[in-house]
Structure 1
Amino acid sequence: MDTTQLQGLIGTLAVLGLLALVVLPAIIGVVHDWRVDRQIERAAEGRRTSSSHRIARPA
């Protein structure tokens, strides 16, 4: 491998590294949003099931 190929490889790796640094926070944010959405759905489902199983107590 000569100098030109080595410089090309280093340049390519640098661009890929910068791309990863730019894209990674966006991916982490999307995954976090999905997780929060699932937690909200589970909480809503839990409320629906618990409210349907309540026993009416005489006053």
Structure 2
Amino acid sequence: MLVTLGILVLMILPSVLGVVRDRRVDRQLREAERGAAPGSTGPAEEPRSLRGRHGVARHA
């Protein structure tokens, strides 16, 4: 029974991880759209996922 459950988890795990990744990307795109909206008063805040990461170009 445990082996069957383990196989089921291994088969479902990639799909679950893909859904989580897609949701994160969608959230980042929504945040970017809000930051680039006409009439915004200042520069958009940098997404949390990009803060403090080396090698990421920053806008002046």
Q: CA deviation at 1:53?
A: 3.9
Q: 1:53 to 1:13 in 2, by over 3 A?
A: closer
Summarize the alignment of residues 40-55 of structure 1 with structure 2, pairs less than 5 Å apart.
40-48=29-37, 51-53=38-40
Gaps of 5+ in 1: 1-11, 55-59
Percent of aligned positions with the same letter in both sequences?
44
Q: TM-score, normalised by structure 2?
A: 0.64
Q: Aligned residue for 1:17?
A: 6
Larger Rg: 1
Q: TM-score, normalised by structure 1?
A: 0.65
CA RMSD after TM alignment: 1.2
Higher relative contact order by CA 8 Å / sep ≥ 6: 1 or 2?
Answer: 2
Aligned residues: 41
Gaps of 5+ in 2: 42-60
